[in-house]
Amino acid sequence: MLRVEYFIDHLKVGGAQRHLVELFASLDRRRFALQVTVAKAGGPLVAAVERLGIRVRSFGVGTSLARPGTVAGLLATARRLRAERVHVVHGYLYAGNLLGMLAGRLAGVPIRLASKRSLDRYPRRSQLLATRLANACADRVLCNAEEVARFVLAEERPDPAKLTVIPNGIRIPQPPPAPERPAGVPPGARVVGLVGRLDWKKAYSDVMQAAVRVRASHPDVEFVVIGDGPLRGEIASQAARLGLAPHLHLLGELSPVAPLVRGFDVFVISSIIEGMPNALLEALALERPVVATRVGGIPEIVTHGESGLLVPPANPAALADAIIRLLDDPRLAAACGAAGRRTVETRYSLEAMAARFTGLYEEMAAARGLAIPDVAPVTAARVATGAA
């Protein structure tokens, strides 16, 4: 059995964390023994990971890695990895990559993997240099989109031979759920919806400006946002200034979101920075026609005019025009929704992602002479319930 330890900054709700929970539930637990180290303790997803029978430890980072105890913690973690004979360390996010790659290198762990999932630049040069050190200690640098790989190569300068792309995968609802209408949306109204954290990268200000143009020609349209974040108050204030407050519904964090998204007439992503957004994959799996900005890995998922409409970032007029086009052309909207579903089923299923990770682990283990039992795969549902 291959022993894999994942390192990540924290287990609060986020794209990388949700990805890991799904991956854990999908890997064959008769072939892989999994455990997790978080840089900072706590987070609502700790319980979800532990319910899968996976141990979660904390490295004990406080406000910063730049503290005297970090070196001692690295040495102690390396000793533990060596004593437990961990075969793979797999890092996620800044602190997870740094701690995992350094501890794995000190322990002589045979396989060391760093993961990159965004196009964010580090605000401090010290962080960039630390990330380059972590990449130097990694055997592979995994990216979730080709555009992320290009960005990492230019920004962090790893050995190009280390770069490997494994796209995100999601659990595809079979069949899609029945649509639900959010509370407060008037009967008969059409809904343009968004799902995501309320922060600067999502460019909600552009959506508000686009909404004014959309409602000028389509006064039956309401805008719904699922998610929360630091800009909630600012978004609400802008909506009030623009006269949109009665028609903007900020629903906050909700679960599950699939029935509400299934009820959107158009799904929108207005981001100015993206890697490979799971929210987009989930909307496509629900057969929603999408309008998305042409940034990051989004054009790798959406084919313009076929599975959705792509627009330039930071262009509210283009965003509004694309939304109106889908509202005015139900046949195009339906065709985009159906094509999006086929795209996800073909390329971005959870099973496809788990198979890619399994293949990578097996390939690297075989190259290092590590044996993994050859057994029939275990389904995600059986893993989650602990069934044999």
d(CA 112, CA 100): 8
Residue 50 has pLDDT above 60, yes or no: yes
Question: 15 pLDDT band (50/70/90 cuts)?
Answer: confident
Write the CA distances from 24 to 46, 86, 345, integer angstroms. 13, 17, 20
pLDDT of 384 > 70? The answer is no
- Which has the closest alpha carbon to 278: 258, 249, 260? 258
Say if residue 246 is in the same domain as residue 320: yes
Q: What is the pLDDT of residues 135-174, one digit of tens each?
A: 999 999 999 999 999 999 999 999 999 999 999 999 999 9
Average pLDDT on 206-235 reads 97
* Rounded-to-integer distance, Cα 304 and Cα 241, Å: 33
Which residue is listed with tokens 């999601």? 170
pLDDT at 373: 66
pLDDT tops 50 at residue 386: no
In a domain, 183, yes or no: no
Let me know if residue 177 belongs to a domain. Answer: no
User: Count of CB atoms within 10 A of residue 193's CB?
Assistant: 24
- For range 9-32, the mean pLDDT: 93
Q: pLDDT tens across 318-347, in order?
A: 999 999 999 999 999 999 999 999 999 999
Residue 66 lies in a domain: yes
The whole-number pLDDT of residue 376 equals 47
| 6 within a domain of the structure (yes/no) | yes
d(Cα 373, Cα 235) in Å, to the nearest integer? 53
Mean pLDDT, the chain, whole residue set: 93
315 shares a domain with 226: yes
Q: For residue 359, is it within any domain?
A: yes
Instruction: Give the pLDDT band (50/70/90) at residue 385.
Output: very low
Q: How far is residue 279's CA from residue 344's CA, in Å, rounded to a whole number?
A: 12
Distance CA 228, CA 241 (A): 20
CA torsion through residues 17, 23, 29, 34, sign: negative
Q: Residue 106: inside a domain, yes or no?
A: yes
Q: Is 156 found in the same domain as 8?
A: yes
The rounded distance, in Å, linking the Cα atoms of 304 and 110 is 43
369/329 same-domain check: no
**Is the same domain home to 147 and 231?**
no
Residues 252, 184: Cα–Cα separation, whole Å: 14
Containing structural domain, residue 335: 190-347
Same domain, 88 and 204: no
* 30 within domain boundaries: yes
Provide the domain count of the chain: 2
Same domain, 16 and 108: yes
SS3 at position 203: coil
Query: Does the CA dihedral 54-197-141-302 come out positive or negative?
Result: positive
Residue 67 · residue 40 · CB < 8 Å? no
* pLDDT value for 383: 33
Model confidence pLDDT, tens digit, residues 245-268: 999 999 998 889 999 999 999 999
Which CATH number goes with the domain that contains 216? 3.40.50.2000
Lowest mean pLDDT across 40-54, 293-307, 329-343, 361-375:
361-375
Co-location of 132 and 271 in the same domain: no
d(CA 283, CA 95): 30
Q: Is 296 exposed, middle or buried (0-12, 13-18, 19+ CB in 10 A)?
A: buried
Above 70 in pLDDT, residue 101? yes
Shared-domain flag, residues 222 and 331 = yes
| Mean predicted confidence (pLDDT) in 88-111 | 97
Residues 217 and 159 in one domain: no
Percent of the chain with pLDDT over 70: 95
Quick one: 165 and 135 in the same domain?
A: yes
Q: Are residues 42 and 96 in the same domain?
A: yes
Q: How confident is the model at residue 69 (pLDDT cuts 50, 70, 90)?
A: confident
Check residue 63 and give its pLDDT: 65
pTM of the model: 0.89
Percent of the chain with pLDDT over 90: 86
Give the closest residue to 87 by CA, choosing from 169, 156, 3: 3
In a domain, 94, yes or no: yes
Rounded to 10 deg, the angle between the 146-156 and 125-137 helix axes is: 110
